[in-house]
Chains A and B, each alone.
Chain A
Amino acid sequence: MNDLSQALAAATHLVVSADANLLVIVSRSLQVSFAAVLIAAAIGLPAGAILATTRIPGRQAVVALLNALMGLPPVVVGLLVYLLLSRAGPLGELGLLFTPTAMIIAQAVLITPIVAALSRQVIEDAWREYEEQLRSLGAGTMAAAITLLWDTRFALATVVLAGFGRAAAEVGAVMIVGGNIDGVTRVMTTAIALETSKGDLPLALALGIVLVAIILSVNLLAHWVKLIAQRHYG
């Protein structure tokens, strides 16, 4: 197809010429999604570990809720964060709307449940194997949770990457709270949406190809590291 070959040529050109605009957009994308995934991991991993190792009442309800939240529509998250951060909203004072920070918050809200729910699954499986041994050694809930986080680190890396992929590929929420401001809050996905709007489909597709390539290479790299590590540590 003509559009496709044009897009491929445009994508190649963008990358080869290290287009300055593209670099700004890509680095902003990575910066925002990386920060969001850090926050999501900092909250989601311990939450997943604690949910997996404790037997508090209401736990099943929390687990079900988390699983449901994995499917949060980005637009709804964007709207909620928008209303929260808008000058007319409760956190308006901070003046965070239409900043990268707002986008980080929205993406973090979106993917924290994903990281928490998936890591709970991973850690609970490990807990089944480890429980008697750890309790025999006198590990309390906290110590057990930390041990399991460390021992499932390779599987959890995949979980965190899934969160990263979702964050980086998301457009609805960041469009609303970021505003797609050129040079400030324009990321790969909102740039793609904009170029599509302008009818410049080859350029939009070229950006899409770059985005997919980035997500793919991050995942491949992580997969490779994981393989090596797993071979080493068993």
Chain B
Amino acid sequence: MLPLKLEALGFAAGGREIIKSITCEIHSGTRTVILGPNGAGKSVLMRLCHGLLQPTAGLVTWMQEGAIRRVRRQAMVFQRPVMLRRSAMGNVIYALKLAGIAAEESRLRAEDVLEAVGLANVATRPARVLSGGEQQRLALARAWALGPEVLFLDEPTANLDPNATRDIESIISAIHASGTKIIMTTHSLGQARRLGDEILFLSDGQLVERASVEIFFRQPQSLEAIAFLRGELP
């Protein structure tokens, strides 16, 4: 379904333009990190790509749109995971059931991903009583179980302590290694360095700079990116 094409993409709400005419193509294989100061429109851009928001201008197009049902081939993990009032295992199976996976297969897949994210021992525990880090791991497992081609992550470690953050980062790497395209936002420059292959730098709703991680951190081109890396922008 990749590449993902954004053409003159715009989004306005309440009379304010949040995304201003972004045009770009996002390809498979790399881990794309969207960086930018607060209020730059990072989360909104991901929601537009994922289909949770409808653009008010321009287009979001996936390859072979229509041939494959889009939602099922992509997944998203939010900053605050929404845990359903059922067991950890139940949460994963719920997502698989919605995706139309048969019960037997669902159970096997759920066991696999819970094992992979290190939650096999709490599979039967109610999801809402798990710790914050465990909940975010479960959210990743729930998304991973769907076998998405693209996984969006919106500040996945924003509320977590360093240990939990390390766990989440290694799971993201594992998901990428299994062949899933990663598109994520983060506040942490360290995380962008550790996890990213390329950076999309947003400022005030515009795509200001796009570069590989190495180049972006060594030689940023735009004034905004330079200021951001110096820590002058929030």
Q: Tell me, yes or no, whether B215 is within 8 Å of chain A by CB.
A: no
From the candidates B47, B78, B98, B126, name the one contacting A233 in the complex (CB within 8 A): B126
Interface string of B116-131 (1 = CB under 8 A from A): 0000000000111100
A161, B214: Cα distance in complex, Å: 62
Q: Tell me, yes or no, whether B113 is within 8 Å of chain A by CB.
A: no
Q: Tell me, yes or no, whether A151 is within 8 Å of chain B by CB.
A: yes
Contact A151 B52 (CB under 8 A): no
Residues of B within 8 A of A150 (CB): 85-86
A214, B98: Cα distance in complex, Å: 42
Q: How far is the CB of A118 from chain B (nearest CB, A)?
A: 19
Contact A130 B71 (CB under 8 A): no
Interface string of A41-61 (1 = CB under 8 A from B): 000000000000000000000
Residues of B within 8 A of A147 (CB): 84, 94
Q: How far is the CB of A26 from chain B (nearest CB, A)?
A: 35
Q: Tell me, yes or no, whether B20 is within 8 Å of chain A by CB.
A: no
Across the interface, name the chain A residue whose C-beta is closest to B82. Answer: A133
Q: How far is the CB of B145 from chain A (nearest CB, A)?
A: 11
Residues of A within 8 A of B76 (CB): 132, 136
From known contacts A129-B82, A153-B85, infer whether A137 and B98 are also in contact, taking CB-CB under 8 Å: yes
Contact B98 A232 (CB under 8 A): no
Contact A233 B128 (CB under 8 A): yes
Q: How far is the CB of A18 from chain B (nearest CB, A)?
A: 40
From the candidates A138, A153, A234, name the one contacting B98 in the complex (CB within 8 A): A138
Contact A143 B129 (CB under 8 A): no
Interface hits, B65-83 → A, CB 8 Å:
69, 71-72, 75-76, 78, 81-83
Residues of B within 8 A of A9 (CB): none
Contact B95 A233 (CB under 8 A): no
From the candidates B50, B83, B127, name the one contacting A136 in the complex (CB within 8 A): B50
Interface string of A215-234 (1 = CB under 8 A from B): 00000000000000000111
Size bin of chain B's contact surface: 20 to 34
Q: Tell me, yes or no, whether A213 is within 8 Å of chain B by CB.
A: no
Contact B99 A234 (CB under 8 A): no
A143, B126: Cα distance in complex, Å: 21
A234, B134: Cα distance in complex, Å: 14
Q: How far is the CB of A129 from chain B (nearest CB, A)?
A: 6
Residues of A within 8 A of B98 (CB): 137-139, 143
Contact A132 B85 (CB under 8 A): no
Across the interface, name the chain B residue whose C-beta is closest to A140. Answer: B98
A129, B126: Cα distance in complex, Å: 18
A143, B83: Cα distance in complex, Å: 16
Residues of B within 8 A of A134 (CB): 82
Contact A234 B127 (CB under 8 A): yes
From the candidates A130, A133, A135, A138, name the one contacting B99 in the complex (CB within 8 A): A138
Contact A132 B52 (CB under 8 A): yes
Residues of B within 8 A of A130 (CB): 82, 84
Interface string of B159-202 (1 = CB under 8 A from A): 00000000000000000000000000000000000000000000
Contact A133 B127 (CB under 8 A): no
Contact B72 A233 (CB under 8 A): no
Across the interface, name the chain A residue whose C-beta is closest to B81. Answer: A133
Interface hits, B54-111 → A, CB 8 Å:
69, 71-72, 75-76, 78, 81-86, 94-95, 98-99
Q: Can you list 19 contacts pairing A with B, beta carbon distance less than 8 Å?
A: A130-B82, A132-B47, A132-B52, A132-B78, A132-B82, A133-B78, A133-B82, A134-B82, A135-B52, A136-B78, A137-B71, A137-B75, A137-B98, A138-B71, A143-B98, A233-B86, A234-B85, A234-B126, A234-B128
Which residues from chain A sit less than 8 Å from chain B, CB to CB?
A: 129-130, 132-139, 143, 147, 150-151, 153, 232-234
Q: Beyond the given A137-B94, A138-B98, A234-B128, please list 15 additional residue pairs across the A-B interface where CB-CB is below 8 A.
A: A132-B47, A132-B52, A133-B81, A134-B82, A136-B52, A136-B75, A137-B75, A137-B99, A138-B69, A138-B71, A138-B72, A139-B98, A143-B98, A234-B126, A234-B129
Nearest first, the 3 closest Cβ-Cβ pairs linking A and B are: A234-B128, A133-B82, A138-B71
